[in-house]
Homo-oligomer: A and B are copies of this chain.
Amino acid sequence: MKIVKFGGTSLATGNQVRKVFDIVMSDPERRIVVVSAPGKRYPEDIKVTDLLIACAEHYLRFGEGREQFEAVIGRYASIADDLGLAEEIVNTIHDDLLKRLNGNRKNPQKYMDAVKASGEDNHAKLVAAYFQSQDIEAHYVNPKEAGLWVSDEPGGAQVLSESYDALYKLRDRSGILIFPGFFGYNKADEIVTFSRSGSDITGSILANAVKADLYENFTDVDAVFSVNPTIVNNPKEVHELTYREMRELAYAGFTVLHDEALIPAFRARIPVNIKNTNHPYKPGTRIVYEREHTNGPVNGIASDNGFCSIYIEKYLLNKEVGFGRRLLSILEEFGLSFEHMPSGIDDISVILRQDQIPDHLEKRIVSRIKEDLDADHVMVRHDLSLIMLVGEGMRNNVGTAARASNALAQAEVNIEMINQGSSEVSMMFGVKEKDEKRAVQALYEEFFAGVVV
C-alpha cells in the first residue's frame, strides 16, 4: 500500500488533476491520496491558500469580503469546469466556505485555521468527485471522521499518538481514499492546522499509521539536486538519500521537502519517494533508512548564509569548569539558539544565526558575557556562511577532509571554521559570505564533476 501526496502545483488546474488521476490509477497500490489546496498555475499566480488568508483577514476586519470570496470559488469553479464536473461540487464548496467565513470569529487564530484548511478540505472533495466521475470508487475522507487528532496549537499542531490506531483502520476501507492535507482536529472538534508543508506532514502521518510500503510525494521537480542550482549550473540529481543525509542537508537551506514533515514516516522507516507529477516516469529521489553508498563519499552539498560568531577569549579559560555551560545559559536568557561551539585553549566561539541578534542587542550581549564570565575579550564576527558536505560514505573515508580543504585552498577560500567529528555523515566548513559561492562551486567540482565517466 502506498500513500501518494500531491503538492499545490500538481493540483492547480483541471489538466493537472487529470495527471494526478492517471498517476493514481496506474498503480493499484496507490490507495490513499493526500491533496493540497490548488497552487500556482504560473509564476505570478496566487495560491488558493493565500487567497483564503486574504479572505479571512478581510472578514476579520470588515465582517465581509465578497471579492476575496469570489476569487477562491473562481479557482475551484474553473478546475471543476475544466474537468466537466457537475455544478453540485462547486455549490458544496461555496456553501462550506461561506459557513466557515461566517463562523465564530472570537478566536482569530482558530478562525484563520478553519478558513485556511478549507483549501485542502474542499479540494479533496473536488478531486474525489472527479475520480467518481470517471467511474472509480473514490471517497473523500474527513480527518475528524478518520481520527486525525492533533494538539491545540493553531498553525503548529502536533499529531496526537492515539491518531495512529484510528487511522490504521483506513486500510480496511474500499476504494481510493482522498484525504485533505494540512490539518486535523483538536479534542474540542475544532480544526487546527500544521506548520508549513502541512500536507507533507499529513502524508507522513498516514504512511506511518497504515504501515505503508512507500510514501510517494509528488511535486514539481524531477529530483533533489546535489547542490543549489542557483550556485552551480545544471547540477547532478541525487537519486537516493538517507534520512540522516536529508536532515543534514535540510539544515543548511536544502529545501525540496521540509525535513520535519518526514518524521512520522522516518520513525516507521517507510521510504519516501519524491517525484514529479509532470514526469512521473522519472525515478525521482528516494529517501531511505539506509542505502549502499557506492557513489563517492559526498551525496550532497548545502550552504546557508547569515551566521555570525561570538568569540570569547579568556586566559586560562580551559581550566575553568562550567565556563561553556555559563556561556550557553547567557545565550539562552537572550533567547538565542546556537549552532556550533568550537573551542580553543583560551578561547571559545559560538556560531549562531545573526538575524536573532538585532544591533541594539549585540552590545548588551557582548558586555553581559564580558562581565558575567570575566572574559578578557569578546568580539562578534558577522556575515559567515556555513557549507555542509553530506554523505553516508564519509563515515570511514580517510581522504574526504583533505579533498575538501584542498579544493577550498585552490579556490583561495580561507576556512574560518571546520566542524567535523560529531556527525558521521557531514562535515561543515565556515567561510566568509563573500566566498560562499566560490567555495560551493569548488567543492562541487571536487566531489561531483569529476565522477562523470
Query: Which residue of chain B has the shortest Cβ distance to A335 in the bound complex?
Result: B321
Q: What is the distance, in angstroms, from A308's C-beta to the closest C-beta of chain B?
A: 13
Residue in B251, B319, B342, B346 whose CB lies within 8 Å of A421: B342
Contact A426-B344, Cβ < 8 Å, known A398-B414, A419-B421: yes
A321 and B337 contacting across the interface, CB-CB below 8 Å = yes
Query: Which residue of chain B has the shortest Cβ distance to A425 in the bound complex?
Result: B344
A423 and B345 contacting across the interface, CB-CB below 8 Å = yes
Residue in B263, B398, B414, B417 whose CB lies within 8 Å of A413: B398
Contact A332-B322, Cβ < 8 Å, known A416-B421, A422-B349: yes
A311 within 8 A of B: yes
A402 within 8 A of B: yes
Q: What is the distance, in angstroms, from A159's C-beta to the closest C-beta of chain B?
A: 15
Contact A415-B420, Cβ < 8 Å, known A244-B346, A324-B328, A325-B325: yes
Q: Within the assembled complex, what's the spacing in Å between the Cα atoms of A342 and B263?
A: 24
Residue in B316, B337, B402, B418 whose CB lies within 8 Å of A406: B402
A318 within 8 A of B: yes
Residue in B324, B338, B418 whose CB lies within 8 Å of A420: B418
Q: Within the assembled complex, what's the spacing in Å between the Cα atoms of A316 and B262?
A: 12
Residues of B within 8 A of A413 (CB): 398
B325 and A329 contacting across the interface, CB-CB below 8 Å = yes
A347 within 8 A of B: yes
A302-347 with Cβ < 8 A to chain B: 309, 311, 315-316, 318-319, 321-322, 324-325, 328-329, 332, 335, 337-347
B343 and A422 contacting across the interface, CB-CB below 8 Å = yes
Q: Within the assembled complex, what's the spacing in Å between the Cα atoms of A186 and B316?
A: 24
B423 and A401 contacting across the interface, CB-CB below 8 Å = no
Q: Which residues of A contact B (CB under 8 A)?
A: 244, 247-248, 251, 260, 263, 266, 309, 311, 315-316, 318-319, 321-322, 324-325, 328-329, 332, 335, 337-349, 396, 398-399, 401-402, 404-406, 408-409, 412-423, 425-427, 430
